[in-house]
Amino acid sequence: MLSASDCVLSEAQAHSQYAAAVEASELNEDHSTHHDVNKEYADLNWDELGFGPIPIDYMYVMKCTKDEKYFSQGTLTRFGNIDMNPSSGILNYGQGLFEGLKANRTEDGRILLFRPEQNARRLQMGAERMCMPSPTIEQFIHALKQIVNANKSWVPPPGKGSLYIRPLLMGSGPVLGAMPAAEYTFLIFASPVGIYHKGTLNLIVEEKFYRAFPGGTGGIKTAANYATVFKPVTEAKAKGFSDVLFLDVTTRKNIEEASTSNIFILKKNVISTPAITGTILPGITRKSIIEIARVLDYQVKERDIPAEELFDAEEVFCTGTAMVVNPVSSITYMGKRIEYKTGVNTVAQNLRTMLTGIQTGQIEDKMGWTVEIA
């Protein structure tokens, strides 16, 4: 079995890269000149990209103030710490959402976003649930284009990684009683990233902690869904697993998803993934993989999947923006370790190749999914 240190794309590595990048920026007293934004690439060791925060040049901020119901003009500002009222809605009541998507550089020098309107829609859905105003799809995409353009030199060379873009929507106005804030901030920062998880995944079915419940917030990307899974995930990692696989809380029998990714199983040529019922995050990679698989003539079913089915699945894989499509080599359930086929000639690899090909411009995008940064 892999040890925890094999599984995690070493957080120590990510921290040291962050420290080096901060040090590089601090060496120049004038932050605005720490790197020449006209240079094609920022000074970074592109061969050693991990998945940790690296401070880049600009972030994007847009506000919805008390008297307005809508977000208005946003601006690019230098990347850095933000002012936050101690009684803000996000700090006190967790009124916040985040998104995650990538910009990739193609071999012929273009920069592509992948289905950004899907992230905009998911943010809007989440905002509705969390009593927050949200940017329009046009505002969201315009902001993404601005932040990528302003930080072009941080988009890794083709094949070295992606610029991971993190939009945040938060209640930034002060509140004391438990209620929605009066002011909101939409902020986007980004960081160059490499591989999220090195190697295949070894999961354990989580039988004590639950991630979501019907009527709750499992289907949206609110920060609180993540803080509450740190404990089971940390415990699983300490035992050498890469992540946990959550069960539904109603029957405690059906698999739902991992802590930051959706799950698929392959059995007798049918690809199945848990249906979106409100407790699972509707992943954009999940949706794209379903669509690609159908184009490739695989049969795909969105349905309840009893954990018992893990015993006779042939392949299992997880999907998400960060990890793309990651094969699962084993799942431990009720004390038994079940192993799956991974590597060459697997369905997971086939789907991954198609998806990353479209995302990086190596395969023609017949789906109309990519958006070029002009």
**Site residues for ligand PLP per CB under 6 A:** 100, 257, 260-262, 281, 283-286, 319-321
The residue (of 111 and 355) whose beta carbon lies closer to ligand PLP is 355
Minimum distance between the CB of residue 261 and ligand PLP, rounded to whole angstroms?
5
Burial class of residue 345, CB neighbours in 10 A (0-12, 13-18, 19+):
exposed
Minimum distance between the CB of residue 262 and ligand PLP, rounded to whole angstroms?
5
The residue (of 64 and 281) whose beta carbon lies closer to ligand PLP is 281
Residue 152: count of CB within 10 angstroms of its CB: 19
Q: Which residues pair with 64 in a beta bridge?
A: 184
The residue (of 134 and 262) whose beta carbon lies closer to ligand PLP is 262
CB distance 170 to 56 below 8 Å: no
Minimum distance between the CB of residue 229 and ligand PLP, rounded to whole angstroms?
8
CA neighbor of 217 nearest in space, from 132, 284, 286, 296: 132
Minimum distance between the CB of residue 352 and ligand PLP, rounded to whole angstroms?
13
- Could you tell me the CA-to-CA distances from 211 to 2, 259, 309 in Å, in that order? 25, 8, 21
For residues 190 and 167, what is the distance between their CA atoms, to the nearest angstrom? 8
The yes-or-no answer on residue 221 being catalytic is yes
Burial class of residue 105, CB neighbours in 10 A (0-12, 13-18, 19+):
buried
Residues shown for the chain: 374
CB distance 104 to 361 below 8 Å: yes
The residue (of 34 and 122) whose beta carbon lies closer to ligand PLP is 122
- Which helix (H) or strand (E) covers residue 303, if one does? strand 299-303
Minimum distance between the CB of residue 255 and ligand PLP, rounded to whole angstroms?
13
CA neighbor of 127 nearest in space, from 261, 221, 226: 221
CA neighbor of 262 nearest in space, from 248, 241, 276: 276
CB closest to ligand PLP, residue no: 283
- Which helix (H) or strand (E) covers residue 148, if one does? helix 137-150
Catalytic residue among 221, 253, 336, 341: 221
Minimum distance between the CB of residue 121 and ligand PLP, rounded to whole angstroms?
11
CA neighbor of 210 nearest in space, from 241, 242, 254: 254
Minimum distance between the CB of residue 30 and ligand PLP, rounded to whole angstroms?
36
- Which helix (H) or strand (E) covers residue 230, if one does? helix 230-238
Residue partners of 229: CB distance under 8 A and separation at least 6: 209, 211, 244, 246, 259
The residue (of 175 and 265) whose beta carbon lies closer to ligand PLP is 265
Q: Give Dmax over CA atoms of the chain in angstroms.
A: 61
The residue (of 116 and 135) whose beta carbon lies closer to ligand PLP is 116
CB distance 146 to 76 below 8 Å: yes
The residue (of 17 and 260) whose beta carbon lies closer to ligand PLP is 260
**Could you list the active site residues?**
221
